A and B are shown apart, each in its own frame.
Chain A
Amino acid sequence: MEDTLLNWVVMIDISLQKILKSSTGEMKLDLKMQFEEGKLITIYGKSGAGKSTLLMLLAGLMNPEKGYISMGKDVWTDTSKHIFLPPQKRNIGFVFQEYALFPNMTVRENLCFGLGKGQPKAIVDKLVDIIDLGQLQNRKPNTLSGGQKQRVALARALVSQPKMLLLDEPLSALDHEMRLKLQSYILEVHREFGLTTLLISHDVSEIIRLSDFMIEMDQGSVVRQGIPADMFTNDRVNAKFQFTGEVIGMVKQDFIVIVTVLIGKDLVKVIANDQEASSLEIGDKVLIASKAFNPIIHKIS
């Protein structure tokens, strides 16, 4: 904490309490979290853990019974002072799970709808360019595929040039290839616009690939938080090394197959025999483990 303050890092500070009523009964949402501005954070957890509610509360679309949300010096919600900034004034980009594109408008009109009064249209053209929507501009949302709709929703959320981007399971309905493509768009806009991004995801490889920080929720509370690669790999260590990754290439050489696996942001080559390789496909999630009889220790500084 001390050194983040010294480095002028803006912290987002959240403490929220709310009773959620659902068909399965009541659940108490009780969340406390802090993270740095400018990071890409994943919220992970079972369905019904309160992840979407957290995003709704952040966006001001729901009210907590008690708590506060502050972004550096800006206070969005503070029940003790009766502060409740309406969603219109929070300047947040929100990508909804079911896209929420306006069916009566074309793709371009959907984007332009997000422009503030007197805001130049240059941002629309820029986003169309970054997210490759050129061909789709004059189409109505109902004529688009799931992946296309999701790209439009992502672009539309960024038109008002928000500081924070909230994504509610944006990729869950997409096939593998589309998913990878959208992940790269998300990373690109996150960096390009210096966003603080909160992403709800269930997909381990997606979380490891995209996020700087991850928060796991269960039953309305934060159960764990940390660096994703550590969280998914450290907990089951048992006298051996163990990583999860994704197969991104397989090359057969003589009697063996060299499998390229993406672990975190690193590529690792692993040797597999024919029999092992026959059960693998590109895109599979795999566990790579090694009995640590002779690990190599290499001094790096």
Chain B
Amino acid sequence: MIDWNPLFLTFKLALITTVLLLIISIPLAYWLAYTRSRIKPIAETLVSMPLVLPPTVIGFYMLLAFSPSNAFGDWLDQWLGIRLVFSFEGLVLGSLIYSLPFMVHPIQAGFANLSPSLQNASYVMGKSKLTTLMRVLLPNMKPSLLTGIILAFAHTIGEFGVVLMIGGNLSGKTRVASIAIYDEVESLNYAAANSYSLILFGITFIILLMVYLVNGGYFTKLGRDD
């Protein structure tokens, strides 16, 4: 029988990361979609970096930054009592950065695809930017929000490099499923590695299938109200 803790930890991490990312990404994507600021290209580049950068690079710099032997890590430890290295909180922060583009890009595209007249009509009707966002824009881009949520969730499940660098392999704390697989293979325990792998394979397949079914309109009533 396999240890279920790594799987439980993986889904806990993915869930927390996804919820936090949704809260961060809506304002960020809104800004990216509508701003004419000169720093937009730089902001877009930074958001997209985790797509191409090896996860070990992100993990490495986070490890350096948050290590208590460094000024910043020491300050966090001394003043706020937060230790981000080899802890679950550190994994959440790493995952937020690592999965950011998977949440921001679909939502940004969702905003860009909405006709500007929807927004204009709402403003002319006397509605504030916040009311317009909550009642007009977001409800009309549900497929984009769903894509972002599911991609960020699935991508966090598949995370390995960042977790390994910053979290290590502490059972019940930072040993997520992908690490557990690596660990079992190293100790030549292929049966356990296979169990974890099959479960992850199945779950990610189902999650991605849902995205394509919903956005392809196969569940018209579920995915779209029109």
A positions within 8 Å CB-CB of B? 56, 59, 61, 86-94, 96-98, 100, 102-104, 113-114, 116, 140, 142-143, 156-157, 159-160
User: 3 tightest CB-CB pairs across the interface, nearest first?
Assistant: A100-B117, A104-B139, A100-B121
25 A-B pairs in the complex with CB atoms less than 8 angstroms apart: A56-B120, A61-B123, A86-B123, A87-B120, A87-B123, A88-B123, A88-B126, A90-B124, A92-B124, A94-B120, A94-B124, A98-B117, A102-B118, A102-B140, A103-B140, A103-B225, A104-B140, A104-B225, A113-B125, A140-B225, A142-B226, A143-B226, A157-B124, A159-B125, A160-B125
Contact A100 B123 (CB under 8 A): no
* Number of residues of chain B lying within 8 A (CB) of chain A: 18
The A-contacting residues of B in range 109-139, CB under 8 angstroms, are 115, 117-118, 120-128, 135-136, 139
Contact A103 B226 (CB under 8 A): yes
Known: A113-B135, A140-B225, A142-B226. A100 touches B125 (CB 8 A): no
Contacts of B126 in A (CB 8 A): 88-89, 91, 114, 116, 160
Contacts of A89 in B (CB 8 A): 126
> Which single residue of chain A is at the shortest CB-CB distance from B120?
A61
Contacts of B115 in A (CB 8 A): 98, 100
Which residue of B121, B136, B139, B226 is within 8 Å of A96 (Cβ)? B121
> Which single residue of chain B is at the shortest CB-CB distance from A116?
B126
Contact A96 B225 (CB under 8 A): no
Contact A113 B118 (CB under 8 A): no
Q: How far is the CB of B110 from chain A (nearest CB, A)?
A: 13
Cα–Cα distance between A156 and B125 once the two chains are bound (Å): 9
Contact A96 B120 (CB under 8 A): yes
Contact A94 B225 (CB under 8 A): no
Contacts of A98 in B (CB 8 A): 115, 117
- Known contacts A92-B124, A102-B121; 18 additional CB pairs below 8 A are A56-B120, A59-B124, A87-B120, A88-B124, A91-B126, A94-B121, A94-B124, A98-B115, A100-B120, A102-B136, A102-B140, A103-B140, A104-B225, A113-B122, A116-B126, A142-B226, A159-B125, A160-B125
> Which single residue of chain A is at the shortest CB-CB distance from B141?
A104
Q: How far is the CB of A132 from chain B (nearest CB, A)?
A: 22
Q: How far is the CB of A217 from chain B (nearest CB, A)?
A: 21
Contact B117 A96 (CB under 8 A): yes
Cα–Cα distance between A159 and B126 once the two chains are bound (Å): 11
Contact A88 B117 (CB under 8 A): no
Q: How far is the CB of A164 from chain B (nearest CB, A)?
A: 11
Cα–Cα distance between A33 and B118 once the two chains are bound (Å): 29
Contact A100 B118 (CB under 8 A): yes
> Which single residue of chain A is at the shortest CB-CB distance from B139?
A104
Cα–Cα distance between A142 and B224 once the two chains are bound (Å): 12
- Counting chain A CB atoms within 10 Å of each CB, which of B118, B123, B125, B128 scores highest? B125
Q: How far is the CB of B226 from chain A (nearest CB, A)?
A: 4
Cα–Cα distance between A88 and B124 once the two chains are bound (Å): 5
Cα–Cα distance between A100 and B225 once the two chains are bound (Å): 17
Q: How far is the CB of A170 from chain B (nearest CB, A)?
A: 13
Cα–Cα distance between A297 and B225 once the two chains are bound (Å): 66
Q: How far is the CB of A84 from chain B (nearest CB, A)?
A: 13
Cα–Cα distance between A96 and B116 once the two chains are bound (Å): 11
Q: How far is the CB of A169 from chain B (nearest CB, A)?
A: 13
> Which single residue of chain B is at the shortest CB-CB distance from A119?
B126
Contacts of B120 in A (CB 8 A): 56, 59, 61, 87, 94, 96, 100
Contacts of B123 in A (CB 8 A): 61, 86-88
> Which single residue of chain B is at the shortest CB-CB distance from A90?
B124
Q: How far is the CB of A152 from chain B (nearest CB, A)?
A: 12
Q: How far is the CB of B138 from chain A (nearest CB, A)?
A: 9
Contacts of A93 in B (CB 8 A): 124
Contacts of A97 in B (CB 8 A): 117
> Which single residue of chain A is at the shortest CB-CB distance from B138?
A104
The A-contacting residues of B in range 39-92, CB under 8 angstroms, are none
> Which single residue of chain B is at the shortest CB-CB distance from A168?
B117
Which residue of A56, A103, A113, A142 is within 8 Å of B127 (Cβ)? A113
Contact B127 A140 (CB under 8 A): no
> Which single residue of chain B is at the shortest CB-CB distance from A153?
B121
Cα–Cα distance between A90 and B225 once the two chains are bound (Å): 32
Cα–Cα distance between A102 and B119 once the two chains are bound (Å): 10
Contacts of B118 in A (CB 8 A): 100, 102
Contacts of B128 in A (CB 8 A): 88
Cα–Cα distance between A217 and B121 once the two chains are bound (Å): 25
